[in-house]
Amino acid sequence: MISRLLVAAALCVSVAAFAAEPFDLVIANGRVMDPESGLDAVRNVGIRNGRIAAVANVPLEGHELIDARGLIVSPGFINLHWHGREPRSDYYEAMDGVTSTFELEIGVADVDRWYDERAGRMPINYGVAIGHAPVRMAVMGDPGDFLPAGDAARKAASDAELAEIERRVEHGLRRGAVGVGFGLAYTPAASRWEILQMFRLAASYGASAFVHIRGASSAGSSDREEGLLEVIALSAVSGAPVHVAHINSSGQKSTGRMLAIIEEARGRGVDVTTECYPYTAGATRIESFLFDSWTDKPAEEYEKLQWAATGERLTPESFLSYSKQGGLVLIHANTEDVIRTAVGSPLTLIASDGFDVHPRNGHPRSAGTYSRVLGRYVREQGVLTLMTALRKMTLMPAQRLEARVPQMRRKGRISIGADADIVVFDADRIIDRATYEEPAEYSDGMRDVLVGGRFVVRDGQVVHGATPGEPIRAVIREQ
C-alpha cells in the first residue's frame, strides 16, 4: 500500500512538472504493459526529446496525440539475433515490432566499419559483436562470404595466427563491440584453448559470449548436449556470461533436456541464457560445414531439406548439385512440441535469427518471429501470457546487454526516462504473414512503431525513408 501511494505521488509530481509545456507526442488511452514494473493498465504516455517523460492516468497535452484505445502499448522489441545487411530489411523487422536489432551470433571482423556503414541510414537501432568466426576468416584467408568455407572451418590456428585472432578480437572490444560472437558449429577446427582465450578476452571487457554451439550439426546424429556443456564450462572457467543462440534448432529433440541443463547451471551461478524462434524449420547455407558429414544419409533426411529459391524438397542427387552451387537451404527438422517447449520456457528470450528479406528466397522468421509468438502462441494456443511474451521480447534482451552497454538500461521499459522505443499493436489481430514459400510478407497488427519517439510504422504502414535508428555500442576505449 505504501509503495502504491508513493507511485501515485510520484506520478502527480511528474505530471505537474510537465504540465506547463505540451509533450512532443502523447500516446493516449492505450493499455500500457511494462514487464519491469508489472504495469498493465490504461495510461497516457507523454514523449519529449525522444524519451518517455510521463506515464499518467490523467489526460496529457501534446503537440501531437495518437489514440491507442483498445491497443497494447509496449516497449519496442529487442532482437539479439539478426544477420541482415540491407537497411531495407529492417522495415520488415519494424513491422514485426522490432526497434533495436543486433548481429551478435556471428558478428563482424571490423566493428568501426560496420557502424560507419550504417550511420544515418537505419530505421531501427543497431549493434554488433566482434566475431570470432569472421576474424578467424580474415586471419586465415578464408574465401567464405559470411560463414567460413575454407581454412577458417577446417584448419587449426598456428601460434602466430592465434595471437593475431586475439589481437583483432580485443581491438573490436576496445572499439565498443556489444559482445563477442562465436559460430562454433562453423569453425570446428578451432581448439578448445583458442575458444577459451576468446572467452577470457570477453570476460576481461565485461562482455558476453554469443554462441552457435558446436556439435549440434544438421546431420541430426551428433550429441546435442555436448556443445552446450562445452560453453557452460567455458563460461564457468573464464567468467564470461554466455548466451546460447536458437536453442530450438541447436537442441531439436534435446531442447527440453538442454533447457534443464541451463536452469541447473544458472542455479549454480553460471550466467547462461538462451533464445528461440517460433518455427519448426531452420535455415543455413548448404555449402557450410554443417553438411560436410552428409554422405550416407537415408533419403528421408534429404526430404527434410527445402531449397529456398524454388521451394523444392531435396533428394541425394539434387543435394549434391546444389551443394556445388551454394545457397540457402531450409531444414524441416523440428516438431511443434519442441517449439511450444522452447517458446513457453521461462528461460528463453525471443530472437529471430533473421537475415535480408527477399521474395521467394528466405525464411519467414526474418519478418514474422514476434507477431507469430504473439498471435499463434499467446492468443491462439495460450502457451504463455501476453506479459510473459513481452518480457521475453523487451526486458530480458535489454538486461542481457546492459552490464556492458549502459544504453540498454533505458530500453525494454515503459518508464519515465526510458527511450521512446514503443510499439502500439492490436493483440486480437497480430499475426505473422510470411511463409517458407513467401518470406517477404509484412506481419499484420502493428499499428505504430516509434524509435526514439519517431514513427517508423504509422497506421499500419511503413514510413519509408524514416531513419531514426541509432548505434548501440559499448563504451569505446582508445584505439
Residues of this chain that interact with Zn ion (CB under 5 A) are 212, 245
Residue 27 or 245 having the CB closest to Zn ion: 245
Q: How far is the CB of 218 from Zn ion (least distance, A)?
A: 11
Q: State which amino acid sits at residue 79.
A: N
The b/e string for 367-400 (b: 16+ C-beta within 10 A; e otherwise) is bbbbbbbbbbbbbeeebbebbebbbbbbbbbbbb
Taking the CB of residue 3, how many other CB atoms lie within 10 A of it?
7
Residue 276 or 378 having the CB closest to Zn ion: 276
Q: How far is the CB of 427 from Zn ion (least distance, A)?
A: 30
The three three-digit cell numbers of residue 214, written as one number: 558446436
CA-to-CA distance for 336 and 324, rounded, in angstroms? 32
Q: How far is the CB of 390 from Zn ion (least distance, A)?
A: 24
Geometric angle at alpha carbon 349, from 67 and 98, rounded to 5°? 40
Residue 80 or 414 having the CB closest to Zn ion: 80
- Using CA atoms, how far residue 449 sits from 95, 412, 427, 464, in Å, is 8, 14, 14, 13
Q: How far is the CB of 6 from Zn ion (least distance, A)?
A: 45
Pairing of strands 209-212, 180-183: parallel
Q: How far is the CB of 213 from Zn ion (least distance, A)?
A: 9
Residue 245 or 329 having the CB closest to Zn ion: 245
Instruction: For residue 295, count CB atoms less than 10 angstroms from its CB and return exposed for 0-12, middle for 13-18, buried for 19 or more.
Output: exposed
The three three-digit cell numbers of residue 115, written as one number: 557502424
CA-to-CA distance for 34 and 78, rounded, in angstroms? 14
Q: How far is the CB of 245 from Zn ion (least distance, A)?
A: 5
Geometric angle at alpha carbon 116, from 115 and 122, rounded to 5°? 70
Q: How far is the CB of 210 from Zn ion (least distance, A)?
A: 10
Residue 245 or 390 having the CB closest to Zn ion: 245
Q: How far is the CB of 105 from Zn ion (least distance, A)?
A: 5
Taking the CB of residue 63, how many other CB atoms lie within 10 A of it?
11
Residue 96 or 275 having the CB closest to Zn ion: 275
The three three-digit cell numbers of residue 363, written as one number: 525464411
Q: How far is the CB of 449 from Zn ion (least distance, A)?
A: 26
Alpha-carbon 184 to chain mean position: 18
Q: Which residue has its beta carbon closest to Zn ion? A: 212
Residue 202 or 451 having the CB closest to Zn ion: 202
The three three-digit cell numbers of residue 386, written as one number: 501476453
Residue 29 or 288 having the CB closest to Zn ion: 288
Contacts for 172 with CB less than 8 Å, ≥ 6 apart: 107, 109, 110, 111, 129, 130, 135, 180
Residue 216 or 367 having the CB closest to Zn ion: 216
**Closest of 77, 35, 78, 26 to residue 55, by C-alpha:** 26
